[in-house]
Amino acid sequence: MSWHKITLNSREAGVPQVEDLELKFDALFMAAGCPPDMALFASRSRDGGLDLYFSPEASIMAGELVRAYGGQDCEPPRADQVELVEGFRNAQRRLCA
């Protein structure tokens, strides 16, 4: 299982698109029974873009969403460089590098 990242440029990282993606992820998270290893993280880039990181469990459970937004395999993000968007509070400490 691998991590996936969706990169949104500054135009794509606007509130409506990000909220839509987060709502879709939230629905999948709830439907899956809130698995402890399913988490979504975010990191803002200097140019105003946004990187969204899907944990391995999230990559499986939200695979269609990852593919729809052009998600790519990636290394686990560093815990000090991302914020938890959806998942359990301790997911960042447990799952990130």
Phi, psi of 39 (to 5 degrees): -145, 150
Q: Where are the domains of the chain?
A: 3-95
First to last CA, the chain: 15
Evaluate whether 41 touches 4 at the Cβ level (below 8 Å).
no
What is the pTM for the complete model shown? 0.92
The string of pLDDT tens digits covering residues 62-73 is 999 999 999 999
Q: What separation in angstroms does the CA of 50 have from each of 26, 46, 53? A: 18, 9, 10
Give me the pLDDT at residue 17, please. 83
